[in-house]
Amino acid sequence: MGDLASLGDVTGKRVLVRSDLNVPLDGTRITDDGRVRASVPTIRALAEAGARVVVVAHLGRPKGAPDAAFSLGPVAERLGELLGSPVAFATDTVGDSARSTVDALSDGGVAVLENVRFNPGETSKDDAERGAFADQLASLADAFVSDGFGVVHRKQASVYDVAQRLPHAMGQLVSTEIEVLRRLTESPERPYVVVLGGSKVSDKLGVIDNLLEKTDRLLIGGGMVFTFLAAQGHEVGASLLEKDQLDVCRAYLRRAEEAGVQILLPSDVVVDTAFPSGDRTPQPSVVPASEIPADAMGLDIGPEASRAFAGALADARTVFWNGPMGVFEVGAFADGTRAVAQALTQVDGLSVVGGGDSAAAVRTLGFDEDAFGHISTGGGASLEYLEGKTLPGITVLED
């Protein structure tokens, strides 16, 4: 699996780079540019080597047709600011604007094509339709670099099919992500602690199933914890509950006990009688996890649980964290997530923030990203790798 050097001299060559520029927008304002910043090293390395860099990426979930709300225009502008040089922007993906924009590039120049998902061929399940679009993309370039880790678990034209049509290499971001994930799965330093949060148990079943016997401690918070608490026989009031996963949670609790793995659930939770929204002022209160009132819903782990979770992370040598402990976007329900993030910054070893909402929480809560060993750009891809699944966008690069 070659790195950028495997492409040889790229001076004057058109290099198609699949980046992950799927950032949150408020209108045309980028509210979190983490993924754009993560894409810069590979793009800069190619540009400095004299390549004509053609960046392809998606934003949001348009329906296979142009939609101004999902334009990559603001992202191209931000990329130019980060690179310190103008970035050309094509107003289509493989049409006249794309061709003229690519043709106008000089050595070391960078262009961004419009949202690749504006073309239905990008995400098509039909191999022929996807392949036809990949042919059009490949015609714009002499080589391909895969650097969008957030999409390598997708068998899509700009991720998978293009790599079959051009000399290809792995970008710096994807290479780093895979190296970190291998450290989490093949021979992690111990104690090895996995922290899972987020809304649903069903989103994390594969990770729990694959890592349960490989970890020393499993800490569970977020909305998913209430299905575990219910599986232990506790009432969870109006909290998020997946009744169809109760037996699965019971089985995990039994497996952990048999394997000598500690599953740590919160002893207390922060509740409110309504989900935070609109102008309503939150009315949080702390209750034991075993005594959630019938009209209340759990929205964060409590202060006692936060201290226990931090204590369980104190001696860890390897930590993987995916999913916030509560509704961190609202100050009244952010303390649990903040406590976990703070504990990760103190880890003497490898601390990995597993993308998605966890990465957003780190930035939203004002933490220095350099305080963590690694912040993944791909929550879904990270989880599928840790589930033991094959990632099409990685296997296609293996020569």
Judge whether 117 is annotated as a binding position: yes
Do 153 and 392 contact (CB within 8 A), yes or no?
Answer: yes
Task: Give the chain's end-to-end CA distance (angstroms, integer).
Answer: 6
Q: List C-alpha distances in Å: 201 to 68, 182, 219, 267, 343.
A: 35, 24, 13, 18, 23
Was 370 annotated as part of a binding site?
no
Catalytic residue among 50, 95, 373, 380: 380
Distance CA 36, CA 158 (A): 18
310 in the Ramachandran plot: left (φ > 0), alpha (ψ -120 to 50) or beta?
A: alpha
How many C-beta atoms lie closer than 10 Å to residue 69's C-beta?
10
Q: Where are the alpha helices (DSSP H) in 119-193?
A: 127-138, 172-185
154 is in an annotated binding site: yes
Say whether 60 counts as a known binding-site residue. Answer: yes
User: Which of 99, 165, 183, 200 does the annotation list as catalytic?
Assistant: 200
The answer to the question of whether 71 is labelled as a binding residue is no
Identified catalytic residue from 326, 336, 356, 393: 356
234 marked as binding residue: no
Question: Do residues 218 and 399 touch, judged by C-beta distance below 8 A?
Answer: no
Is 298 a known ligand-binding residue?
Answer: yes
Q: Which of 14, 18, 35, 217 is catalytic?
A: 35
Query: Structure tokens of 54?
Result: 């053609």
* Rg of the chain over all Cα atoms, to the nearest angstrom: 22
Q: Is 59 annotated as a binding residue?
A: yes
Q: Which residues pair with 169 in a beta bridge?
A: 145
- The annotation status of 22 as a binding-site residue, yes or no, is yes
Residues sharing a CB contact under 8 Å with residue 363, sequence separation 6 or more, in sequence order: 32, 34, 369
Tell me the sheet residues that pair with 270.
286, 300
- Determine contact, residues 234/290, Cβ cutoff 8 Å: yes
222 in a known ligand binding site: no
35 is an active site residue? yes
Q: 383 labelled as ligand-binding? A: no
Is 302 known to be catalytic? no
- Say how far apart CA 330 and CA 347 lie, in whole Å: 26
> Which residues, in sequence order, are bridge partners of residue 14?
52
- Contact, 350 vs 374, CB < 8 A? yes
Decide if 200 is catalytic. yes
- Does the annotation place 358 within a ligand binding site? yes
Tokens coding 192: 């090895």
Which residues are bridge partners to 194 per DSSP? 218, 320
Query: Is 356 flagged in the annotation as binding?
Result: yes
Summarize the annotated binding site for ATP as residue ranges: 204, 298, 329, 355-358
Summarize the annotated binding site as residue ranges: 20-22, 35, 58-61, 117, 154, 204, 298, 329, 355-358
So which residues are the catalytic ones?
35, 200, 356, 380
Summarize the annotated binding site for substrate as residue ranges: 20-22, 35, 58-61, 117, 154
